[in-house]
């Protein structure tokens, strides 16, 4: 036989279960602050509630579109909720249409719709694009407008490129209202695309392609570049033939572009030689933006070298030869010469030091210059 106290405990326990069950049944309405036990359940359920938040964006203004032609723009439908948004249809005012009408847009995703304005008469068009969907909140409409014209109004797009590359097409391009124009940027060596600008404002970073859509006014397009790595420079070594006199003998160098710093090594040493002998000299550009080098032989002789210039002529072509290293060929049409001119390329000939030149009209005199 159960004691009264045990019966009392059983009764209280049974009653507590009933009350708790009732509270759980209506727990969705319990205030978290009023009932901390069930408040967590209510908040958790609320956070898991599915949301489908719709928003529309895009330039839906079409100006000066000729009758019987069309212009296009992009409408973006975004789902900012946590559940899939289902679009059942899209309605447009007269004169407008789209290339996508229904489908699913995942949570956090979006769908682009190409909207086409096709005026049939010269007048103003307008209204609202409505996206019919199962959204839980958000705005599913966007204003759209257009002007149909009886005369095609030309638009002009000016395209240019900054230092470090080119743009195609370039210059002034004539377009009709509503047209689009694609551009391609071609960076030079050691350059990459930096930014695309339309009417002076940045519209895209990087990439070698950009398309200007729905042209409704005169516009300017510019692409800029920035330098990466080093550009190649040309190095020409000279003053390579010397007579021993007990002093240091240095080579010299010229560069293209001009004025670059060149570091020298002689048989691998930065110290210029003094003694009689042949030394492999390497001139290397030392510059933050350019790289390049040249190799030749510096000769220190114990006696002065007398250069000899040989000449052969056949069928209008003159072949000239001279001692290797340290000399370059110069020419003049008259003697005595007051303005000897270097023969292009003679300072970079190989160890054979032979060069062929076309015999022009009149006399031509040549000499060797160290």
The domain spanning residue 99 has which CATH number? 2.60.40.10
Look up tokens 């990466």; give the residue: 228
Phi/psi at 98 (5° precision) = -135, 160
Look up tokens 């909140």; give the residue: 137
Per-residue pLDDT tens digits for 158-182: 999 999 999 999 999 999 888 999 9
Q: End-to-end CA distance of the chain, in Å? A: 131
Instruction: Check residue 76 and give its pLDDT.
Output: 97
**Residue 159, domain CATH:** 2.60.40
If asked whether residues 9 and 77 sit together in one domain, one would say no
If asked whether residues 105 and 128 sit together in one domain, one would say yes
- Annotate 326-353 with DSSP letters as a single string: S-EEEEESSSS-SS-EEPTTGGG--TT-
Higher-confidence residue of 146 and 150: namely: 146
Instruction: Check residue 322 and give its pLDDT.
Output: 61
Q: Angle CA(180)–CA(185)–CA(190) in degrees, nearest 5?
A: 165
If asked whether residues 292 and 334 sit together in one domain, one would say no
Domain boundary among 243, 270, 301: 301
- Residue 188's domain spans which residues? 155-227
Domain boundary among 177, 205, 227: 227
CA–CA dist 241, 264 (Å, integer) = 16
- Which pair of structure tokens corresponds to residue 29? 């309405």
For 202, 205, 238, 240, the CA distances from 249, given in Å and listed in that order, are 56, 53, 12, 9
If asked whether residues 135 and 214 sit together in one domain, one would say no
Domain boundary among 267, 301, 335: 301
Of 62-76, 83-97, 129-143, 294-308, the poorest mean pLDDT is in 294-308
Q: What's the rounded mean pLDDT across residues 7-19?
A: 44
If asked whether residues 236 and 223 sit together in one domain, one would say no
If asked whether residues 70 and 18 sit together in one domain, one would say no
Local confidence band at 318 (pLDDT 50, 70, 90 cut-offs): low
If asked whether residues 134 and 87 sit together in one domain, one would say yes
Task: Count Cα neighbours of 203 within 13 Å in the Cβ-side half-sphere.
Answer: 16
Number of domains in the chain: 5
If asked whether residues 290 and 332 sit together in one domain, one would say no
pLDDT above 90 covers a percentage of the chain that reads: 57
pTM: predicted TM-score of the whole model, two decimal places: 0.36
If asked whether residues 216 and 242 sit together in one domain, one would say no
If asked whether residues 215 and 273 sit together in one domain, one would say no
If asked whether residues 141 and 61 sit together in one domain, one would say yes
If asked whether residues 81 and 138 sit together in one domain, one would say yes
């Amino acid at each position: 036989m159960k004691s009264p106290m045990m019966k009392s405990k059983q009764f209280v326990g049974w009653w507590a279960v009933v009350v708790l069950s009732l509270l759980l049944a209506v727990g969705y309405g319990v205030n978290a602050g009023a009932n901390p036990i069930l408040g967590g359940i209510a908040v958790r359920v609320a956070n898991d509630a599915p949301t489908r938040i719709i928003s529309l964006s895009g330039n839906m203004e079409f100006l000066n579109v000729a009758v019987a032609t069309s212009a296009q723009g992009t409408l973006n439908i975004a789902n900012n909720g946590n559940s899939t948004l289902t679009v059942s249809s899209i309605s447009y005012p007269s004169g407008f249409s789209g290339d996508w009408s229904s489908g699913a847009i995942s949570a956090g995703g979006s769908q682009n719709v190409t909207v086409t304005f096709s005026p049939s008469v010269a007048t103003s068009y307008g209204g609202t694009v409505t996206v019919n969907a199962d959204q839980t909140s958000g705005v599913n409409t966007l204003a759209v407008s257009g002007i149909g014209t009886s005369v095609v109004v030309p638009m002009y797009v000016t395209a240019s490129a900054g230092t470090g590359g080119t743009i195609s097409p370039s210059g002034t391009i004539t377009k009709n209202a509503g047209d689009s124009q694609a551009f391609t940027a071609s960076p030079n060596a050691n350059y990459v695309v930096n930014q695309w600008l339309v009417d002076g404002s940045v519209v895209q970073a990087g990439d070698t392609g950009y398309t200007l859509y729905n042209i409704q006014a005169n516009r300017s397009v510019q692409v800029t570049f920035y330098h990466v790595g080093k550009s190649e420079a040309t190095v020409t070594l000279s003053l390579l033939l010397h007579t021993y006199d007990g002093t240091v003998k240095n080579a010299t160098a010229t560069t293209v572009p001009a004025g670059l710093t060149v570091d020298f090594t002689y048989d691998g040493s930065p110290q210029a030689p003094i003694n009689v002998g042949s030394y492999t000299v390497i001139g290397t550009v030392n510059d933050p933006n350019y790289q390049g080098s040249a190799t030749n032989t510096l000769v220190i002789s114990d006696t002065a070298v007398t250069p000899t210039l040989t000449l052969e002529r056949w069928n209008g072509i003159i072949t000239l030869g001279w001692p290797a290293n340290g000399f370059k060929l110069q020419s003049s049409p008259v003697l005595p010469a007051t303005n000897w001119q270097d023969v292009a390329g003679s300072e970079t000939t190989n160890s054979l030091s032979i060069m062929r030149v076309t015999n022009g009209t009149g006399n031509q005199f040549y000499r060797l210059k160290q």
